[in-house]
Structure 1
């Protein structure tokens, strides 16, 4: 321990936050590297990391600890004409985007309730043309069970990384039995389908990147940089800032706004412009599960990312799914019962059908323990926009496998053009599609994977 700082309160959100000794500083682009390093030394700072996702940008620290004065010190530096950004590393609570035989989200199917469900993203039909061959999906999440039967095929895992450590390691495995989220999201995106659950893109490769640090950590940007530089085509993020409870409109957290720090925003910009050899990585974010407007969520509303909402087995918005101008598309996920009396099922089918995906195959605390029985390596009730986000990322993988030369913006447009327009009268004006075909609840609609790969094929072959 070098020093312990106070916990502060964000005056805009009322949320607690913690600062560290790390300062992010970016000088103006016209300075040379030598000039930047000379200035850093003259200011009594030492370089911790020279970042490569932005010009003249560094994480630095004072040679002598500043304690709570680090905020005032960074503000003084920000007044200099040769400094573009300067602020301490601020850590906020991080929230996963999860609410809680039958992969009804992939195809029309008869579920265990003995009722036909036809509310899928039409993925099974798309598999006749593409299964995501040779496409790399990076999933940034809390841990990944790489011994799971759905992730052990040859060549499945690419460039694993763990950014939870001071010195990043290549082991993204769960540290405890609670780190289950990453395995589930990766399963939705690209599980092999060898034993008990198929991902949307079963032949895509997985780049598992472990990150459980709070929102705003330096490692957050490092994770995006690693994904882009290590060959990821697609990056899926089922996490974001805290949000209000979806069923409680009076929850004060609904009114909190969270800005994305510049170092994370610059790293995402680097991935979406420099990744894939300049064609741009596709970065997906879960819209959120607060049943609130997400246009002030600096993560999912970032214009460089694709925000994914959740729709249910009745082709309507999930009760918890966030909404707003930034929603790009929707993907099927499990739902929750809405306390609003207007929100009634269109049929007698319960609105609680979850998503079947991978679960931990062994107890991480027992390194030598035998694997669970195969039937216990899967869950049936994964839900939230946490599940919708990697599903949409999988559809992008199907598209890129058909036409790898597409730019990020071209894939983004295909994802808009392929959608089925869904909705429900109870959505009201917010659920209606405008003249551009966009809805605040569904974006451009529910993704139709078969339409998406056909559009990609048409661009490849006139």
Structure 2
């Protein structure tokens, strides 16, 4: 049993991996990194390969993990196979395999280490400590001070675990762990563009989209760069022509991110959901004019190439980084799968690289990083990648406005985006209307389909780049936004779906949907106004929610217009408001006029006031402050009436809405405050 500690000397319990040797698995690596099927092996080696079963592979490195079968003594059978394979001149390595003691997942180790010394340790001291353990520097890492990627002498074997433990005990060392590699799992589960606009499929109307057309009235993402870190990208696809910037293969350290393996299909599909240009009879991404930075990453989860991918993105101008991959998921249809409870820590090397991108990217404003939540129908909180607080974790919802049956859930989930789904009778989960999302595929015969497009892409793999495109639209209208501000605006730009089953808490968060399905038009509108709005938690401001006749409640924040960009238009039924950050004794009052309720007023902050029947409508509002805040601030509000393009404005309790003779319904509302002038 070996232990690997992430998080440095003070790493928490969930940041430690316990590895145990597998009695029936062996790992084989070919020379020249050829795939085991294509390698020129001796007859004896080929027979061993054919008699064993592959359980994991790292084809880019020519590595295959195989299981031997033996009725009585699998260890002896494994060691016999290892000894024979080592004699083959075309096999570089044949060794034992470790598993995660908790989940049983295969974990491979290399003879490489990630080491970070304390920031104030002189370089000569760092070199002396590395020499003490006979370690050679492969590269000094740019994303953290005094950080190195080093290697031990060939043949060190499992002594790497002891060396890592001893190094971490050195007072000058902050972080140290061996390079551990696991299979990287992409988050696709495998009509048309129903996720973008209302459409009809087989005669059935699908109206569970992200309201992209309202966002496109302002921008299509021009000037913003989305990095897709994935298994490669067909940069020759017509949908991406003229918009490819700084391509990179992090695994091969080359400038060619094109697919290299037969199953390198995932990245091209993801990129299309984010930023396909929308050719006739093609597919459109959510940000069809954004630049695309393809970064191929075929190395294992936790590899140094993984960290380098984030650094490349940050150093070469990426604004948004989309990651539709992560640890292995449990089977979503099997509640008893032990993988559901597996905890995967975020390696220090990857975490520091992500922090570098989050703080140094975009000229110091920070890249926005998004991760697919996962497809295991399990807690995303156990995944150290998606639960890393600064990232935006994206779940999947379906064409009926419900959670996709496989989508991971938890506190880490921030937002959801439409994707493909499955019917599953055992969970009483009905079949979807559509087969999935239409997006780009590898050109020619390669890919998911023989066409250049695929109609059935799905999983949180599809949801993540779709959301990344929405973030690109937000940055296009407000390039000054920081990652924290983007997350905050997203929180206020979602539509609550599945009100009955979403279990939204008092803060508006659902473990199944995050803050809801993104409303792209609202997100862009709020991003435009964010420069003038004060988002600091301590500022005096109005928060609350606006209830529409369809789609439920949408968050309201001071200065942001809520509504008016829905297509088709939605009527406002009522609202709930609260005053935040004001002196004790301050409160907000609000009165509304409805088509059936007459005039109603709140009795307490946060109380819903308005119509309850979706067939009714709101006609007018009046808002005012009481207590100390009333002497300090003017409270302004505006509404957009049915059929009108301009806003009607009022302040401090004056009536704002439709004339009695007209009876026009309210479709949008905005609230903001200004300090009183002496």
How does the TM-score come out when normalised to structure 2?
Answer: 0.63
1:390 paired residue number: 465
Distance 2:411 2:521 in 1: 26
2:508 to 419, 424, 437: 437
For the 8 Å contact 1:163–1:211, the answer to whether it is kept is yes
More moved, 4-13 vs 176-185 = 4-13
For the 8 Å contact 2:133–2:163, the answer to whether it is kept is no
Structure 2: runs of 5 or more not aligned:
1-30, 32-91, 534-678
Structure 1: runs of 5 or more not aligned:
366-371
C-alpha displacement of 1:341:
4.8
For residues 152-200 of structure 1, the C-alpha deviation after alignment (integer angstroms, 9 at most, x for no partner) is 1x2x0011001222xx001111123321100000000001112410000
2:444 counterpart of 1:355: no
2:230 paired residue number: 141
For the 8 Å contact 2:415–2:517, the answer to whether it is kept is yes
1:189 paired residue number: 274
C-alpha displacement of 1:362:
2.4
Distance 1:312 1:66 in 2: 50
Distance 2:162 2:147 in 1: 20
For the 8 Å contact 1:5–1:18, the answer to whether it is kept is no
Distance 1:100 1:352 in 2: 12
For the 8 Å contact 2:191–2:436, the answer to whether it is kept is no
1:297 paired residue number: 383
Distance 1:226 1:3 in 2: 31
1:12 to 88, 102, 112: 102
For the 8 Å contact 1:5–1:68, the answer to whether it is kept is no
2:207 paired residue number: 118
For the 8 Å contact 1:161–1:209, the answer to whether it is kept is yes
Distance 2:163 2:532 in 1: 58
Distance 1:12 1:67 in 2: 23
Distance 2:115 2:346 in 1: 16
For the residue of structure 2 that corresponds to 1:209, the secondary structure is: strand
1:368 paired residue number: none
C-alpha displacement of 1:456:
1.2
C-alpha displacement of 1:440:
0.2
For the 8 Å contact 2:111–2:153, the answer to whether it is kept is no
2:246 counterpart of 1:159: yes
For residues 419-444 of structure 1, the C-alpha deviation after alignment (integer angstroms, 9 at most, x for no partner) is 0011153x3xxx21111111000001
Change (3 A) 1:33 1:364: farther
1:75 paired residue number: 165
C-alpha displacement of 1:457:
1.3
More moved, 274-283 vs 1-10 = 1-10
Distance 1:138 1:332 in 2: 21
For the 8 Å contact 2:439–2:457, the answer to whether it is kept is yes
What is the RMSD of the two structures over their aligned residues, measured on CA atoms? 1.7
2:244 counterpart of 1:169: no
C-alpha displacement of 1:131:
0.5
Distance 1:390 1:340 in 2: 30
For the 8 Å contact 1:336–1:352, the answer to whether it is kept is no
The structure that has the greater radius of gyration is 2
For the 8 Å contact 1:175–1:364, the answer to whether it is kept is no
For the residue of structure 2 that corresponds to 1:280, the secondary structure is: coil
2:137 counterpart of 1:47: yes
C-alpha displacement of 1:5:
4.3
Change (3 A) 1:203 1:3: same
Distance 1:189 1:64 in 2: 43
What is the total number of aligned residue pairs between the two structures? 441
Distance 1:454 1:292 in 2: 34
2:493 to 418, 429, 452: 418
For the 8 Å contact 1:107–1:121, the answer to whether it is kept is yes
2:217 to 128, 131, 153: 128
1:23 paired residue number: 113
2:365 to 259, 266, 279: 279
C-alpha displacement of 1:109:
1.5
Change (3 A) 1:229 1:341: closer
C-alpha displacement of 1:101:
5.5
Distance 1:115 1:70 in 2: 60
Distance 1:267 1:235 in 2: 13
